[in-house]
Chains A and B, each alone.
Chain A
């Protein structure tokens, strides 16, 4: 599992690749720290290469969303696979995030 943060104007883009499971949660949380402090930015969680997400992964997305709201930033989840979309639906997270 790798997480890369890129900057594009006002956007901060996190590119997730691999399986975001319990084992990957701690390093991923460390990797997304710059997103948690970003104020008044558009934060894109790019899931094009994300193969799997567990509850721990959902909690990381949730932390990013909470901190973003507190700092006036906006979070968009982009390019989730059909399987991950199903996880978002089964947990009711589909109405919690803006998904593109």
Chain B
């Protein structure tokens, strides 16, 4: 720092005096960004902000100090960065930032539009901003509305590229062999394609979910294949609400929400291929599922049940009605909660409890008649 000329020393002095205001500004900018992202429902990888260190500023001044008349000419003393998952989000967050801050358009650069051949990682959007008085008016630091800061928006892959590229010294001005440059540029192209593909996949998944919701709303359940997404959509409509309430009423129990996703594997194993199959299975076995719950809970004082109880009992009844027996129940309990030797005893007990219920008697009678028909 001692090597800096008088002009640069003055800028450094100005920096030291501005440090409290810059630190305050960093807090305001970070909070404003977090709040705006939350308001807009935008999920990002990271929000970062830093005030340039004196050492870093001195380095910059040593290289090109003559370019700056005062500290205010250096626009990245305070730098903020938002790292997004998707390229589409960069534009959405840019629009958000335009509403949040006053943008210095003359000095802002959308490097994505420069289409440089070798600059994937630096293809981020750089806005030079000021804090408007509507966002921050601090009598202790009136300069907060005048100091400019830089906001960078980039994707996670662009960020990774920039970080690794920086580590290789590629941007340091030291020439690296052309072969390595070529390989880095190949990677750059691949990452840009990956970024675009991630965005496309997200868009297509969103479209798929909308189409599925439409089909579910229109009752066209046979057209919807059963998978994690469609099952979740279907269960959000609470198709077993009535059954759960009937079961809860046995002991005036409260119902605790529980996840259903573990049952997806069970339903697929029970040969449900579409949501239509799931709906028919529910309708077919819900009365017997209620009778099973009444038989089990009726003699207890358990007054709390999970919202998965109806679905669990439907699966039990379906397995037993179709001759799955104790082995089928063991498989069910294994699927719901992992393999455990105690699941055999549980299956045995459940089988015994169910054996007095009408659906089991019908099932057993049908099984006994089967050889005669053969």
| Complex interface: chain B residues within 8 A of A97 (CB) | 337
Shortest beta-carbon distance from A75 to chain B in Å: 13
Interface residues of A (CB under 8 A from B): 54-55, 58-59, 62, 80, 82, 85-87, 89-100
B30 an interface residue at 8 Å Cβ cutoff? no
| Complex interface: chain A residues within 8 A of B350 (CB) | 89
With beta carbons under 8 angstroms apart, the residue of B259, B303, B333, B349 that contacts A94 is B333
| Complex interface: chain A residues within 8 A of B304 (CB) | 55, 58-59, 62, 91
CB nearest to B296 among chain A residues: A90
Shortest beta-carbon distance from A29 to chain B in Å: 15
With beta carbons under 8 angstroms apart, the residue of A62, A92, A99 that contacts B312 is A92
B225 an interface residue at 8 Å Cβ cutoff? no
B308-347 near A? 1/0 per residue, CB < 8 Å? 1110100000000000000000000100111010100110
B306 an interface residue at 8 Å Cβ cutoff? yes
B262 an interface residue at 8 Å Cβ cutoff? yes
Shortest beta-carbon distance from A10 to chain B in Å: 21
B305 an interface residue at 8 Å Cβ cutoff? yes
Of B256, B296, B336, chain A has the most CB atoms within 10 Å of the CB of B256
B258-275 near A? 1/0 per residue, CB < 8 Å? 110011000000000000
Interface residues of B (CB under 8 A from A): 253, 256, 258-259, 262-263, 293, 296-297, 300-310, 312, 333, 336-338, 340, 342, 345-346, 349-350
| Complex interface: chain B residues within 8 A of A82 (CB) | 342, 345-346, 349
CB nearest to A82 among chain B residues: B345
With beta carbons under 8 angstroms apart, the residue of A58, A62, A95 that contacts B259 is A95
Give bound CA distance, A99 to B308, whole Å.
16
Shortest beta-carbon distance from A13 to chain B in Å: 19
A92 touches B349 (CB 8 A): no
A95 touches B312 (CB 8 A): yes
Q: Pick the 9 closest A-B CB pairs, nearest first.
A: A92-B309, A92-B306, A92-B308, A90-B296, A55-B304, A96-B258, A95-B336, A91-B305, A95-B308
B256 touches A96 (CB 8 A): yes
With beta carbons under 8 angstroms apart, the residue of A85, A90, A98 that contacts B338 is A98
B297 touches A94 (CB 8 A): no
With beta carbons under 8 angstroms apart, the residue of B262, B297, B308, B336 that contacts A90 is B297
Give bound CA distance, A91 to B247, whole Å.
10
Total CB contacts across the A-B interface at under 8 A: 75
B308 touches A100 (CB 8 A): no
Known: A55-B301, A91-B306, A94-B333. A99 touches B338 (CB 8 A): yes
B333 touches A89 (CB 8 A): yes
A95 touches B262 (CB 8 A): yes
Of A59, A62, A94, A98, chain B has the most CB atoms within 10 Å of the CB of A94
Give bound CA distance, A77 to B338, whole Å.
12
Known: A85-B342, A86-B346, A100-B338. A95 touches B258 (CB 8 A): yes
Known: A55-B301, A58-B304, A89-B333. A94 touches B345 (CB 8 A): no
A99 touches B303 (CB 8 A): no
| 10 A-B pairs whose Cβ atoms sit less than 8 Å apart in the complex | A62-B256, A82-B342, A82-B345, A82-B346, A87-B300, A91-B305, A91-B309, A92-B309, A92-B310, A96-B258
| Complex interface: chain B residues within 8 A of A99 (CB) | 337-338, 340
Give bound CA distance, A95 to B340, whole Å.
14
CB nearest to A91 among chain B residues: B305
A92 touches B338 (CB 8 A): no
| Complex interface: chain B residues within 8 A of A85 (CB) | 342, 345-346
With beta carbons under 8 angstroms apart, the residue of B297, B306, B337 that contacts A98 is B337
B301 touches A54 (CB 8 A): yes
Give bound CA distance, A99 to B342, whole Å.
11
B303 touches A55 (CB 8 A): yes
Give bound CA distance, A77 to B304, whole Å.
18
| Complex interface: chain A residues within 8 A of B301 (CB) | 54-55
A95 touches B302 (CB 8 A): no
